[in-house]
Amino acid sequence: MPKIKLNLISGRTIQQGVSMEGGKEKPAYREACGIIEMDPADVKRLGIWVPANVRVTSPYGSVVVKAINATMGPHPGVAFIPMGPWANQVVDPNTYSTGMPTFKGTPVEVEPAEMEKVLGSIELVQSTTRKGVVK
Amino acid sequence: MTKLVTDVICPFCGTLCDDLEIEVSDDGKKVTGVYNACAIGAEKFLHSAAADRVTRPRMQQADGSYKEVSYDEAVEYAARVLANAKKPLMYGWSSTSCEAQSKGHEIAELVGAVVDNTATVCHGSTLIALQDVGIPSCTLGEIKNRADRILFWGCNPAHAHPRHMSRYSIFPRGFFTGKGHKGRKMIVVDPRVTDTAKLADVHLQVEQGRDYELLSALRVAIRGNKLPDVVAGIRKERIYEAADLLKSGRFGIIFFGMGVTQSLGKNHNIDEAIMLTKDLNDYTKFSIMAMRGHYNVTGSGEVLGWQYGYPFCVDLSRGFARYNPGETSSNDLLVRGEVDAVFVIGSDPGAHFPISSVRKIAELPSVAVDPHITPTTEISKLHVPVAFVGVEVAGCCYRMDNVPIESRKVVEPPEGMLTDEEFLERVLQRVKELKAEQGAAAAAAKGKVTA
C-alpha cells in the first residue's frame, strides 16, 4: 500500500461554518469537515482516484477522512482538514508553554482506506473518548 | 403576516455585522427569513427554529444514552459538581453575553475555578504577544474610512469572516477612501491560494510555519537592507516589492489570524508582526488587528480583564487571580489531569480541542451549556440547552476591534427555556447554599477536634 508524508494544517472553510451552525450531529457537518484537501500532485503520488477514503495518521492519533483535490491550491506537500473533530484526532496537542495547541504544521502519513468508513462527528468523538466503546 | 426586525446584530463572528434584517412570524416565535447576513450567520438564525431542537436538560445514563431531566435537577447537579470540585475548569464564554460571563465568574470565585475562554485555542498567543510588546490598533470604522493598504496574514476572511471585506476592509467606500477597492492595495500572506489570496494584488505564498522568517525579512526590506535570495519560500524581489507597497500607503492595517497564532513560534510570530507595524510607522500610519472568531470572545477577554486583570486562563483556585498560559490554560490542565470537573458554556471543546483533551472531559464530571447538540454535549454528563444569545435574548458583545455592541432579541425562546444568565444565577444561588453547608460542616468538625 502506498503511504505518503504530508504537512497537515487545519482551519475554517465556509462550508465548515454553515454546517456547524446547521447542526454538528447532521451528515452535512461530516461532509464539510470529514475531508482532507490534498494537492493533485500528492493525490497522484498516493495512487488514488478522488474522492476516496484515506487514513491519516500522526504521532498523536489516526482518523479516516475523505480525500479530495485541494480547493485552494496548489500547495504540494501541504494537506488541509477543516477545523473540527476529524482534524483534532491527529493534530499536535503540545502547547509549548503558550496554552495554544499546535493546530497547524502536524507531520502526518496518508494511506488509502477504501474499506473504512468516515464516522459522523458525535460517533467519532464518543468512540474515541468513552471507555469500552469499540472503535 | 410576518414582521421585519431591522438593525439586528449577527452573533456568529467577531465582525458583529449590525445591519441584519430578520423576518419573524406574526406571533414573534419563529425566524422565517434572514436578510443581509452571510451564509453562516443566516444558518445560525434559521437553526434557532429547527424542529429537532433540544428544549430540556439531559443527563447521561450508565449505558451512555441520555435521559431528560428538569432544570431543577440540572441546577442541582451543576452546583454540586462545582461546589465539590477542588479545581474545576469553567471553559467557553465566547458565545454568550458579557452579563452571563460576569455571573459565571461569581460562581468561579466561590468554587475556586479556572476560567478560560476560546482564545486559548484561537488568539491566546496574540494576547500574550500584546502583553509583551503592546499593540498599535484602531477601529474597523477607521479602516473603512482611511485604510489604503490592507495586509491579511494567515487568515482567510472570505471563509471565516465572510462580510469583513465588504463591510470594512477592502470594498467599502469611506470618507477618505471614496474609490473603494480601487483605491486600496491588498496583500495576502498564506501557504495556500485561498479565496482571499485570489483577490489580492500581491499574494506571498509563505512556506507553512515560516511566518517569523518572512516577518523579519519584511522588517529588513522596509529598512532597505540586504536579504538572502529566498526567505520562507519567497524570492527577495517579491519581498522588496511588498515592503515598498506597504510603505507607500497613507494608512495601512495588518489583519492576522490562526496562521500565525497556531503555527510554531506562536506568540513570537505576533511579537514580530507588531514590531513590523511599529517599523512601518516610521514611514506612514499603520495599525494591526487580530481577526477574532467567536462573536463575543473579545468580550470575554474584556470582562475577565476588568475583573481579574488577565484576558484568559485565569486561575482562581487559590482565592486570588493567577495567570500563566501553559500552566493555567485549558488544554495543559486537561492533558496533565489537573482539573477534577469541567463546566462548558458557549463553546464546543469536544469539536475544537485536540482529542487528548476531549478524552479527559469525557472522563470527568462535566456540564455542557449549549442550545444545540454538539460533540461536547454528547460526551458531557449533563447537557443544559439554553436560549440563543443574540437571537432569543439580548446582551452585550464586543466586536473584534473592542467596540461593545448590544445584541438584540428577535424571537421568543421555546417555552420554558432558561437563558445562560438565568441558569448561571440559579447555579450561583445553589452553590452559595452548598458552600455555606460545607463551611458549617467544616467548622463543626474543627470544633469537635478542638473539644
Listed residue (B328, B327, B300) closest to B314, CA to CA: B328
pLDDT in tens, chain B (451 residues): 899 999 999 999 999 999 999 999 998 889 999 999 999 999 999 998 888 899 999 999 999 899 999 999 999 999 999 999 999 999 999 999 999 999 999 999 999 999 999 999 999 999 999 999 999 999 999 999 999 999 999 999 999 999 999 999 999 999 999 999 999 999 999 999 999 999 999 999 999 999 999 999 999 999 999 999 999 999 999 999 999 999 999 999 999 999 999 999 999 999 999 999 999 999 999 999 999 999 999 999 999 999 999 999 999 999 999 999 999 999 999 999 999 999 999 999 999 999 999 999 999 999 999 999 999 999 999 999 999 999 999 999 999 999 999 999 999 999 999 999 999 999 999 999 999 999 999 999 988 776 6
Q: What is the CA radius of gyration of chain A?
A: 14
Listed residue (B75, B60, B87) closest to B434, CA to CA: B75
Decide if A63 contacts A86 (C-beta within 8 A). yes
Decide if B148 contacts B250 (C-beta within 8 A). yes
- Do B373 and A128 count as a contact with CB atoms less than 8 A apart? no
Beta strands in B356-419 (DSSP E): 366-369, 382-384, 395-398, 404-407
Other CB atoms within a 10 A radius of the CB of residue B29 amount to 14
Alpha carbon distance, N-terminus to C-terminus of chain A: 22
Decide if B401 contacts B137 (C-beta within 8 A). yes
Query: What Cα–Cα distance (Å) separates residue B213 from each residue in B227, B232, B272, B279?
Result: 11, 6, 9, 16
- Do B375 and A13 count as a contact with CB atoms less than 8 A apart? no
Interface of A with B in 65-94 (CB under 8 A): 70, 72-75, 78, 80, 83-85, 88-89, 91-93
Question: Does B344 contact A at CB distance below 8 Å?
Answer: no
How many interchain CB pairs under 8 A, A with B?
Answer: 192
Q: Measure B355 CA to nearest chain A CA, in Å.
A: 5
- Do A23 and B50 count as a contact with CB atoms less than 8 A apart? yes
Listed residue (B41, B46, B42, B72) closest to B59, CA to CA: B72
- Do B357 and A93 count as a contact with CB atoms less than 8 A apart? yes
- Do B209 and A105 count as a contact with CB atoms less than 8 A apart? yes
pLDDT score, position A133: 46
Q: Which of A19, A86, A100 to mutate to test the interface with B (most CBs of B within 10 A)?
A: A100
- Do B332 and A95 count as a contact with CB atoms less than 8 A apart? yes
Q: Measure A72 CA to nearest chain B CA, in Å.
A: 5
pLDDT tens per residue across span A1-59: 789 999 999 999 999 999 999 999 999 999 999 999 999 999 999 999 999 999 999 99
pTM of the model: 0.96
- Do B353 and A101 count as a contact with CB atoms less than 8 A apart? yes
- The phi and psi torsions of B103 (rounded to 5 degrees) equal -65, -40
Structure ipTM: 0.96
- Tell me how far apart the alpha carbons of residues B8 and B406 are, in angstroms, rounded to a whole number: 10
pLDDT tens per residue across span A96-123: 999 999 999 999 999 999 999 999 999 9
Strands B31-35 and B20-25: antiparallel
Question: Does B192 contact A at CB distance below 8 Å?
Answer: yes
Listed residue (A102, A91, A93, A85) closest to A34, CA to CA: A85
pLDDT tens per residue across span A79-102: 999 999 999 999 999 999 999 999
Query: What Cα–Cα distance (Å) separates residue B98 from each residue in A43, A63, B94?
Result: 47, 37, 9
Question: Does A2 contact B at CB distance below 8 Å?
Answer: no
- The DSSP-derived string for B316-336 is -TTSS-EE-TTTSSHHHHHHT
Question: Does B40 contact A at CB distance below 8 Å?
Answer: yes
Residues of chain B in contact with residue A12, where contact means CB-CB under 8 angstroms, are: 156, 159-160, 258
pLDDT score, position B17: 96
User: Can you list the alpha helix ranges (DSSP code H) found in B134-266?
Assistant: 140-146, 157-160, 164, 211-222, 236-247, 258-261
Q: Is the dihedral of CA B59, A86, A105, B280 positive or negative?
A: negative
Q: Measure A3 CA to nearest chain B CA, in Å.
A: 21
Residues of chain B in contact with residue A87, where contact means CB-CB under 8 angstroms, are: none
